[in-house]
Structure 1
Amino acid sequence: MPTIRPARESDRDALYSICLETGDSGEDATGLYADPLILGHVYAGPYLSYAPDFAFVLEDAEGVGGYVIGTPDSRAFEATLEREWWPKLRAQYPDPAAIPRESRTPDERIMAVIHDHTRKTSDVYDAYPAHLHIDLLPRMQGGGNGRALMERLFTALRDAGVPGVHLGVGGRNTRAQGFYQHLGFRELERTNGGITLGYML
């Protein structure tokens, strides 16, 4: 049976791989990105570095096959990344600002996220200051594994005094939407083809 444990620095490669293998609205994005690390740099790595107390992995005999990562204070987390995480990546990846949005490759779309100096916090953060990402490889999906991971993070967030958590999901990822709604998340807003869901802790 899979077990849940706190993530470790030695899990970084596994988190990056899972992030890529679930990066196309839950499907394998390996064929979409020329750089296999770029998704992980944005959606996995910073949480392991700057919010390790809120990072948990799901492990079986084959190794780590899923994770949930988050931060209790999205505003403070983003400020930390602006100081300590994004500058190194901005030096590594070129800014695609001169390339029309509709002409950008998947890699260039992620580079645009890395170079976004105008990140705006949402009113959602007032009631739901925490946010999370959860990804499971196919072998880990089902059997209550996703719920168990979420509950482990919810407990850590509650212990930290957090009132609510939010997440983003792609508008076409109906499977994930159903999973979150079954857990009790409710829709908060829709923007740019994505949906923000919130859960009161």
Structure 2
Amino acid sequence: MISPAIRPYRPEDRDALYDICMRTGAAGGDARGVYRDQTLLPEIFAGPYAALEPDLAFVLDDGGRAVGYVLGTSDTARFAQDFREKWLPTVAARHPLPGGEPGTPDAVMTEFLHHPELMVNPALADYPAHLHIDLLPGYQGQGYGRTLLTTLFAALDKAGVARVHLVMSSANTGARAFYDRVGFHEISVPDPGELTFLGRSTAA
């Protein structure tokens, strides 16, 4: 039996990334029954990172396909601009803006897709990099998440990026406990709503 191993992202991993994103996209739970559009979340939180910053994309491979990933950017402000200029034109037609006030999960996320500048928060200026990490349930709690993160931290540190942040649902208490164990601390952000903002150094 082949042990799962971490490796750089490859373009053929795209479908697996999208699947993982949906299976873990509802505060860590399965989002496939929450969103009607099964490509919306991945085209915000997975696809653009793999396309725009593949050198900061790593997957956990079980010997047949990716079963987890960590994706990141070294510069959130630049990433938001690239998202608008390079990524959004490739996906916007599939996800048109809803009219009126967003009233469904799909509508809320579609608004976010079309306004990538929302990911730039002045309170996070000292943490210019950010990341997304997801593992299928069968691979959680075995140390793979920690190893994925340390792989990304090393790449960011090598690129000269000192700090990284992430944004998570405050309801995802299991993930919060994990992030605490791997050295993240909470960052005070005005009006965080239902989100928690965490940061840490990229140094080992």
Shared fold (TM-score, shorter chain, > 0.5): yes
| In 1, Cα distance between equivalents of 2:139 and 2:116 | 36
Question: Do the aligned partners of 2:80 and 2:116 also contact (CA within 8 Å) in 1?
Answer: no
How many equivalent residue pairs? 198
* Counterpart amino acid of residue 26 in structure 1: G
State the match for 1:95 in structure 2.
97
State the match for 1:72 in structure 2.
74
Q: Which runs of 5+ in 2 are unaligned?
A: none
What SS does the corresponding residue of 1:127 show, helix, strand or coil? coil
State the match for 1:178 in structure 2.
177
Question: Do the aligned partners of 2:21 and 2:42 also contact (CA within 8 Å) in 1?
Answer: yes
| In 1, Cα distance between equivalents of 2:188 and 2:196 | 6
State the match for 2:83 in structure 1.
81
Structure 1 range deviating more: 147-156 or 30-39: 30-39
- Following TM superposition, by how much is the alpha carbon of 1:94 offset from its aligned partner in structure 2, in angstroms? 2.1
* Counterpart amino acid of residue 144 in structure 1: G
Post-superposition Cα deviations, 1:152-199, rounded to whole Å, max 9, x if no partner, equal 000000000001000001011001111111111010035120011000
- Following TM superposition, by how much is the alpha carbon of 1:28 offset from its aligned partner in structure 2, in angstroms? 0.7
State the match for 2:107 in structure 1.
108
TM-score normalised by L of structure 1? 0.93
Structure 1 range deviating more: 123-132 or 32-41: 123-132
What SS does the corresponding residue of 1:90 show, helix, strand or coil? helix
What SS does the corresponding residue of 2:174 show, helix, strand or coil? helix
Structure 1 range deviating more: 185-194 or 7-16: 185-194
State the match for 2:51 in structure 1.
49
RMSD: 1.5
State the match for 1:141 in structure 2.
140
What SS does the corresponding residue of 2:41 show, helix, strand or coil? helix
* Counterpart amino acid of residue 195 in structure 2: G
Tell me which of 31, 35, 38 is aligned to 2:37: 35
| In 2, Cα distance between equivalents of 1:30 and 1:120 | 24
Tell me which of 2, 5, 19 is aligned to 2:4: 2
What SS does the corresponding residue of 1:189 show, helix, strand or coil? coil
Question: Do the aligned partners of 1:97 and 1:112 also contact (CA within 8 Å) in 2?
Answer: no
Moved over 6 A (4+): none
Question: Do the aligned partners of 1:57 and 1:66 also contact (CA within 8 Å) in 2?
Answer: yes
| In 2, Cα distance between equivalents of 1:65 and 1:93 | 26
Post-superposition Cα deviations, 1:1-48, rounded to whole Å, max 9, x if no partner, equal 210000011100000000000001111111111111111000000001
What SS does the corresponding residue of 2:32 show, helix, strand or coil? coil
Q: Which runs of 5+ in 1 are unaligned?
A: none
| In 1, Cα distance between equivalents of 2:8 and 2:133 | 14
- Following TM superposition, by how much is the alpha carbon of 1:118 offset from its aligned partner in structure 2, in angstroms? 5.4
Question: Do the aligned partners of 2:70 and 2:133 also contact (CA within 8 Å) in 1?
Answer: yes
State the match for 2:63 in structure 1.
61
